Amino acid sequence: MKTSTPIHPMLKPKRQRLFLCSFISTLLFLSAAFFIGSAFVIKDYKERFLEWEFVGAMLKTRSKMCETTHRPHGTEALPKGIVSTTSDLEMRSLWGPRNKKNSRSTTNLLAMAVGIKQKESVDKIVKKFLSSNFVVMLFHYDGIVNEWRDLKWSDNAIHVSAVNQTKWWFAKHFLHPDIIFEYAYIFLWDEDLGVEYFDIERYLSIVKEEGLEISQPALDPDKSEVHHDLTSRDNKSNIHRRIHKVLRGGRKCDNSSTDPPCTGWVEMMAPAFSKASWRCVWHMIQNDLVHAWGLDFQLGYCVQGDRTKKIGIVDSVYIIHYGLPTLGGSAENKTLAETPNQASQTLTSENREQVRASHQSDGRAAVRRQSFIQLEIFKNRWKKAVRDDNCWTDPFQQQQQQSKI
């Protein structure tokens, strides 16, 4: 029987030490690997965190930038580049290449309220403007459109028809500043005007040279119905901005005058507006006050400067105002050829009262009554708007106060 060889007692501690050293080495290796790996993980996490922080900051900056960027109401859901905020009245072909615009040429707009009875007069006016690169827009208040088709320029004009509506009703609904943004000047004329002495090129040259934002051609005092002395032609000048005389009612106009109708004023039968002034005037036209009485006395607020300098009457090219009451009365059936006497003399105040009294029973009298009613409504609205708007300051009142100091 074999017996086992006994282990020397000194060998046990040696094996234990070798095992312990091996265990500690392994533990140290694993710990080192853990810490080294953790360092890479932490570094990668920090890098990712910084990237996320940078992206977050960019998104936040972009969000703030987009919040401050003005977008027209209703376009918030669209990318900015696809939004077309302005337009013009140019007609487009149904086929073929697009017409190339001459970028160097400036286009202007003539808009008129017309009736078929004044067709001959309108034809003369339009021809004057078409020779100078004007777009023509006719507002047909009598609903008759087809009878204009025989005129050579008719198919190239814009025709809008609404029965018994005024020039200012049409203007408010169809001449929004963004729609006619391309036009440097907007002429908003009546139909009962004579243009024998009018030259549009000369007129525009004077307006630009004088820096007029709102203007009108002077009226021939011998052949026109003149309602306000400021609009009467001064044959000794190219342009005038004020008058020096005592008006009916006793008001004195002189060099110290700063208010209409002594200065800073045009009448509403033949005004011409710059693009900038029209944007302001359009907003001032009341949607429900179709006669626009009272508007003329507030036009100075729309010239963005001194109304005594930026509003004027052009004398060297002038017109005749026949004064035909074409809306609402029996004069709708009259033409310029049928009223030679009225076209050749200035009515006195007494004559006007007699004419007014003789038409009390017809529609024209009702139109005039409504015009006076709307004038009072507009005045009251203006006073209320001034009173309620704490952020608005009257620039002309400030000028008057400074001039007194």
**Residue of 59, 69, 349, 321 whose CA lies nearest to 216:** 321
What whole-number percentage of the chain has pLDDT above 90? 55
Instruction: Give the number of other CB atoms < 10 A from CB of residue 192.
Output: 25
DSSP one-letter code for 144: -
Give the pairing of strands 183-189 and 252-253: unpaired
pLDDT tops 60 at residue 116: yes
Q: Measure CA of the first residue to CA of the last residue in the chain; give whole Å.
A: 140
Compute the average pLDDT of residues 137-158.
Answer: 96
pLDDT tens digits for range 317-376? 999 999 887 766 544 445 554 444 444 344 455 555 554 455 445 677 888 899 999 999
Q: What is the pLDDT of residue 344?
A: 39
Which residues lie below 8 Å from residue 208, measured CB to CB, with a gap of 6+?
none
Tokens representing residue 395 in the block: 């620039």
CATH number of 107-399: 3.90.550
Greater confidence (350 vs 16) lies with 16
Q: How far apart are CA 120 and CA 114, in angstroms?
A: 11
Closest by Cα among 208, 156, 220 to 184:
208
Q: Residue 206 is which amino acid?
A: I
The mean per-residue pLDDT over the stretch 204-224 comes to 96
Query: What's the count of helices (H) and strands (E) in the chain, helices before strands?
Result: 10, 11
**β-pair type (214-219, 134-140):** unpaired
Closest to 160 (Cα-Cα) out of 177, 150, 175, 182: 175
Residue 405, pLDDT above cutoff 90 = no
Residue 232, CB-side half-sphere exposure with 13 Å CA sphere: 15
Max CA distance (Å), the chain:
163
pLDDT of residue 200: 97
